[in-house]
Amino acid sequence: MQIQREITTASVLLGATVGVFGATFGLFAVTGGLSVSKAVAMSLLVFTGASQFAAVGVVASGGSPFAAIGSALLLASRNGVYGLAMSRTLRGRLPLRLLAAQLVIDESTAMATAQADPDAQTQAFWMTGGAVFVFWNLGTLVGALGGGLLGDPSVYGLDAAFPASFLALLGPHLAKVGGKAAAVLGAGIAVVFTPFLPAGLPILCAALAALVGLSTRV
Amino acid sequence: MSWTSLLLLAGGAYAFKVLGLVAIGDRPLPRLVTSCLDLLPAALVAALIAINTVAIGQRLVLDARVVGLVVAGVAVWRKAPFFVVVVLGAVSTAAWRRWVGV
């Protein structure tokens, strides 16, 4: 009961924060030349914040559709690794897994993998994925229609809400055998590769840090 | 951006998500593979923290987000609830931006 309440609160909080960025995206998309319906469709169908900002940004700055899709998909590639990390939790029938796939993003993966038992992991995945989906899409609609009521989210420090929440979710992973090594190595790889690789790929490279698992004797 | 390219992007993004999720399926995996998979979230979540704190696109930047992360870190260490950690991280970052700059 206690854990369920905590998961619900955390999911709604993360979702609401994402919603503010959704409004920013909606405004950005319309300013960048997309119609309201395209902005809304993109949030529903692509549902990967960073990729959407990248695609619209490239188009708005005069880039080709191929460049827009390419850079957006580079950012989306890390979701493949998240899917891999979630694949042993999200079992069950194929249709359900195909639906779950759309919700495989930073927030849902981080929240789910931080839980101790499989039931809580599944619940956290659906709660966080669902909350982020609802708020992100509502935010996009509001932003595309009404513009920036709140203004720049960074004024409220909301950009720091993401690393803060991921930090709160890191704890359980550090307790695992090899967890600290994988975390330090993963963060290090991501930072070192940031200046040299397009955004999105450094996190993909950080997945290699999980190979420290090869040397753990459990 | 045309509807065609929007749908191509949506299809590509979904393909990444679904591939990772169903690639392994229900097959049993060797012990070494599962111990790596178990460590995957640790590596990814730590990388997310790092990137979200010090990167803006391809640039590495130290700004008010670092303050927020340190404050959030103290809150985590003092076993504060999730909500408190996130709010403290955001508020301290906003305060630093407002009164100290950067």
Rounded to 10 deg, the angle between the A78-86 and A106-113 helix axes is: 30
Report the pLDDT averaged over residues A14-38.
90
- Residues of A within 8 A of B89 (CB-CB) are 157, 160-161, 163-165, 167
% chain A with pLDDT above 90: 58
Query: Are the CB atoms for B69 and B53 separated by under 8 Å?
Result: yes
Does residue A35 surpass a pLDDT of 70?
A: yes
Q: Judge whether A153 and B71 are in contact, CB under 8 Å.
A: no
Local structure of B59: helix, strand or coil: strand
Asked whether residue A3 carries a pLDDT value surpassing 90, the answer given is no
pLDDT at A217 over 80: no
Residue A93 Cα, gap to closest chain B Cα (Å): 11
- pLDDT for B14-57, tens place per residue? 999 999 888 877 778 888 888 888 899 899 999 989 999 999 88
Position A176 scores a pLDDT of 86
B13 to A218: CB separation less than 8 angstroms, yes or no: no
Query: What pLDDT does B33 receive?
Result: 85
The C-alpha atoms of residue A27 and residue B10 are separated, in whole angstroms, by 20
Mean per-residue pLDDT for A112-119?
Answer: 93
Task: Report the half-sphere exposure of A199 (CA within 13 A, side-chain side).
Answer: 21
Distance in Å from the first CA to the final CA of chain A: 32
How many residues in chain A?
Answer: 218
- Rounded distance between C-alpha atoms, residue A146 and residue B94, angstroms: 24
Q: What is the pLDDT of residue A216?
A: 64
A146 contacts chain B (CB < 8 A): no
pLDDT of A49 higher than 80: yes
Residues on chain B touching A104 (C-beta within 8 angstroms): 17, 20-21
The ipTM value here is 0.90
- Strand, coil or helix: B55: strand
Quote the minimal CA–CA distance from A82 to chain B in Å. 7
> Do B76 and A168 touch, CB atoms closer than 8 A?
yes
Residues B69, A100: C-beta atoms closer than 8 Å = no
Distance of CA A197 to the CA centre of its chain: 19
Whether the Cβ atoms of residue A163 and residue B65 lie closer than 8 Å to each other: yes
Query: How many CB atoms within 10 Å of residue A134?
Result: 16
Q: A190 in contact with B at a CB cutoff of 8 Å?
A: yes
Minimal Cβ distance to B49: which of A33, A166, A209? A166
Please indicate whether, in this complex, the C-beta atoms of B64 and A160 are within 8 angstroms of each other: yes
Identify from A162, A177, A180 which residue to disrupt to test chain B contact, counting B C-beta atoms within 10 A and taking the largest count. Answer: A162
Task: Give CA B85 to chain center in angstroms.
Answer: 15
Say if residue A150's pLDDT is above 80. no
Distance from CA of B23 to the nearest CA of A (A): 8
Write down the pLDDT at residue A148.
57
Task: Inform me whether the C-beta atom of residue A99 falls under 8 Å from chain B C-beta atoms.
Answer: no
Alpha-carbon distance of B66 to B90, in angstroms, equals 11
The whole-number pLDDT of residue A149 equals 63
pLDDT tens string B61-93: 999 999 999 999 999 999 998 889 999 999 999
Q: What is the pLDDT of residues A159-195, one digit of tens each?
A: 898 899 889 989 888 988 899 999 999 999 999 999 9
Cα separation values, A115 from A162, B5, B43, B47, Å: 18, 38, 16, 19
Phi/psi of residue A143, each to 5°?
-65, -40
In percent, the amount of chain A with pLDDT more than 70 equals 96
Residue with tokens 């990772």, as numbered in its chain: B20
Q: Which of A89, A137, A155, A194 to mutate to test the interface with B (most CBs of B within 10 A)?
A: A194
Label residue A131 exposed, middle or buried (CB < 10 Å: 0-12, 13-18, 19+): buried
In a mutagenesis test of the A interface, which of B82, B97, B98 is the best target, namely the one with the most A β-carbons within 10 Å? B82
Instruction: Decide which of B56 and A135 is more confident.
Output: A135
For range A7-15, the mean pLDDT: 94
**Eight-state DSSP code of residue A211:** G
Average pLDDT, chain A: 90
Q: What's the predicted TM-score (pTM) here?
A: 0.84
